[in-house]
Structure 1
Amino acid sequence: MNSYLIVSICMITYGHEKFIKQAIEGVLMQECDFEIELILANDCSPDKTDSIITEILKSHPKASKIKYFRHENNIGMMPNFIFAMKQCLGTYIALCEGDDYWTDSLKLQKQVDFLENNSNYVVCYHDCSVVDQFNNLKVPSFLGNSKKDYNEKDLKKGAWLPTLTRCFRNVIKEYPVFFDRVNCGDLFLTSFLGDYGKAKYLDFNGASYREHAGGAWSGVDESFKTKKLISDYIYLCKFYKNREIEVYKFYKNSLNKSFLKDFKADLRLRNIVYNFNEFKFYYCTFLLSTIIKKIKTIF
């Protein structure tokens, strides 16, 4: 047993009474030659999530590996995530939200073995399946044809690494002041990791991502997702503008594309007045730049 090496599993939960037991068991079944700790942060769930966790703490033979935190008041998904991340003491961190679960008992061992022997990589990830709320298989391979390695620049540009499949070095000690207000924390975390190394795809399927009506991301429609991404791209543009011009331009282009997509959708829904008020500065900037480009093509 490698007692000095700890992997912290960061698990946030809210309203996951139907799924939390399976999520916890997927962590506690891990077979590895190092210590693990499960940082479990419950954002004041209104259902039976707390009582289910409490019962596991009383009865599970590996309950000592769980560090459980229950907020007395709901603080929000991102503040809860930041809180949980700050509790992680491990050399490495793995993520699994309370409605997803791991299926491979050697998942962490495989990932840690790779990271221990490849210091130029900051994160590794693998494939996962997609299931519904009843564990019925929907998609056998979530990644499909997107199984590849990424360099540092790819990570900074938000390479897609499914949350529950990644294991990364515990190198991010401080977060930007705006981080608690973002919508897609994974996007920012991936981007920040790009400062520390590359990403490696490990060829195995070791988890199940759950799509259900109450999912923080899978349970919302495309229009809502686009609006949330617009907000996040604005933060990323501001963050990288005076840091890395190439990455800044990438997110500015992503922002423009998302604005156009959202603009067209809102025109169809006749919701343009509300959305213009929400993002009017960026709409004007986008429309002005589009007009200038058109003029340049004429003259």
Structure 2
Amino acid sequence: MNNPIKRPLVSICCVSFNQSLYIEKCLDGFDLKLCNFDFEVLIFDDASTDDNQQRILRHAQDKKNYRLFLQNENQWNKNKFGFIDYLIPAANGKYIALCEGDDYWTDPYKLQKQVDFLEANPDYVLSFHKVKILQPNGDLVEDFITKVPENYETQETLARLGNYIHTPSVVFRNIIKEFPPEFSLTPIGDYFLYMLLSEHGKLKYLEEEMAVYRYGVGIHSTHTQIKMAKANFKLFTLLLSYFNNPKINQILLGRQLNALDNFEHLVRSEYQEAFVSHHVFFKALQSLKHPSKFWRKIKNKFN
């Protein structure tokens, strides 16, 4: 099960943790691929505490193109990461396709379409496409999270407007053999990855819906606004540390400063709200039936 097949054209890389409710739907999407080339499926599980690993093992049984990287101890806590420390180094494909364990593919010809384009257009490094959004209530809706802009193909647009690429839609050339130190520190790895890849070519958007992104169940869905603002500031700081392109760095610097302003605003707002709501004096004031009369009495004492 863990023996690589002969030089596949595509390596599907899937990172999963505590996603037993969704993982089988994800893996079914891999098996339905109709293409005229070999592909391998690499799955990393970071010591899930549910039965995620058991479901992966059952599904992968007797599938020669599956390679499993199931951990007994959580590697995230050791500053090791499934994608860059396990899957990318092991990927044999000319191309890498991404899909996290809570998302899934819907078009059996997805890989064929994306690989055909990249094979015919060597000046492009990455292909992505439209997705549907699956909401927590079960509704499948149009993408309300991202909007692909004009001139989306360039690194400058990606730097200026942020991430408009959904992870389960991505297929890219397997050309990054060593990641910079900044990448292992970033709290937002997918955007950093796309920025790295955009150094090597253009991005291609296919206007076909070929995957589903689950909204509200990923790691970042549990983050507060302050945590996300802090993560964005750290992301742009690390991007600035890595890139050495004056034009791109000017854009990144502006976004870093905006992220810092947003973080400061959110912290101030939360602190003030917490102070007002938890301070004993203000709690007592809130309990009064006629607070305006109270303030007049206080004012008269000092007149």
TM-score > 0.5 by shorter chain: yes
Is the Cα–Cα contact under 8 Å of residues 155 and 198 in structure 1 kept in the other structure? no
Q: C-alpha distance in 2, partners of 1:52/1:271?
A: 47
Structure 2 equivalent of residue 80 of structure 1 = 82
- Aligned-partner SS, 1:122: strand
Q: C-alpha distance in 2, partners of 1:141/1:102?
A: 18
State the shift of 1:136 in Å.
2.6
Residue type at the aligned position of 2:115: V
- Aligned-partner SS, 1:228: helix
Residue type at the aligned position of 1:172: I
Structure 1 equivalent of residue 282 of structure 2 = none
Gaps of 5+ in 2: 1-5, 274-303
Q: TM-score, normalized by length of structure 1?
A: 0.82
Q: Does 1:111 align with 2:127?
A: no
Q: Does 1:177 align with 2:178?
A: no
Q: C-alpha distance in 2, partners of 1:112/1:195?
A: 20
Structure 2 equivalent of residue 55 of structure 1 = 58
Q: C-alpha distance in 2, partners of 1:148/1:129?
A: 22
Q: C-alpha distance in 2, partners of 1:78/1:232?
A: 18
State the shift of 1:64 in Å.
1.8
- Aligned-partner SS, 1:15: coil
Seen in structure 2, the aligned counterparts of structure 1 residues 115 and 78 have a Cα distance that, compared at 3 Å, is farther
Q: C-alpha distance in 1, partners of 2:247/2:80?
A: 27
Gaps of 5+ in 1: 273-299
- Deviation per residue, 1:101-123 (Å, 9 max, x gap): 11111110000010010011001
State the shift of 1:250 in Å.
1.1
Seen in structure 2, the aligned counterparts of structure 1 residues 247 and 140 have a Cα distance that, compared at 3 Å, is closer
Structure 1 equivalent of residue 291 of structure 2 = none
Seen in structure 2, the aligned counterparts of structure 1 residues 257 and 169 have a Cα distance that, compared at 3 Å, is same
State the shift of 1:138 in Å.
4.0
Structure 2 equivalent of residue 153 of structure 1 = 156
Structure 2 equivalent of residue 200 of structure 1 = 204
State the shift of 1:230 in Å.
0.8
Q: C-alpha distance in 1, partners of 2:152/2:110?
A: 18
The worse-fitting range, judged by mean Cα deviation, of 131-140 and 197-206 is: 131-140
Structure 2 equivalent of residue 42 of structure 1 = 45
State the shift of 1:139 in Å.
3.5
Structure 1 equivalent of residue 287 of structure 2 = none
Q: C-alpha distance in 1, partners of 2:148/2:182?
A: 33
Q: C-alpha distance in 1, partners of 2:272/2:30?
A: 44
> Superposition RMSD on alpha carbons, in Å?
2.2
Residue type at the aligned position of 1:262: F
State the shift of 1:220 in Å.
2.4
Seen in structure 2, the aligned counterparts of structure 1 residues 78 and 147 have a Cα distance that, compared at 3 Å, is farther
Q: C-alpha distance in 1, partners of 2:214/2:19?
A: 11
Structure 1 equivalent of residue 24 of structure 2 = 21
Seen in structure 2, the aligned counterparts of structure 1 residues 271 and 112 have a Cα distance that, compared at 3 Å, is farther
Residue type at the aligned position of 1:81: F
- Aligned-partner SS, 1:64: coil
Is the Cα–Cα contact under 8 Å of residues 150 and 159 in structure 1 kept in the other structure? no
Is the Cα–Cα contact under 8 Å of residues 187 and 235 in structure 2 kept in the other structure? yes
Q: C-alpha distance in 1, partners of 2:151/2:159?
A: 16
Structure 1 residues 1-299: aligned runs within 5 Å:
5-58=8-61, 63-76=63-76, 79-82=81-84, 83-133=86-136, 135-140=138-143, 142-144=145-147, 146=149, 149-155=152-158, 158-212=162-216, 214-240=217-243, 243-270=244-271
Q: C-alpha distance in 1, partners of 2:226/2:57?
A: 38
Q: C-alpha distance in 1, partners of 2:7/2:115?
A: 13
- Aligned-partner SS, 2:209: strand
- Deviation per residue, 1:52-88 (Å, 9 max, x gap): 11111237xxx22211111121111861121222211
Q: C-alpha distance in 2, partners of 1:94/1:35?
A: 13
State the shift of 1:159 in Å.
4.8
- Deviation per residue, 1:135-180 (Å, 9 max, x gap): 4314356544547641243346555221111111001111012322
- Deviation per residue, 1:24-75 (Å, 9 max, x gap): 111111100001111100000010001111111237xxx2221111112111
Is the Cα–Cα contact under 8 Å of residues 159 and 252 in structure 2 kept in the other structure? no
Q: C-alpha distance in 2, partners of 1:264/1:78?
A: 33
Is the Cα–Cα contact under 8 Å of residues 233 and 252 in structure 1 kept in the other structure? yes
Q: TM-score, normalized by length of structure 2?
A: 0.81
- Aligned-partner SS, 2:193: helix
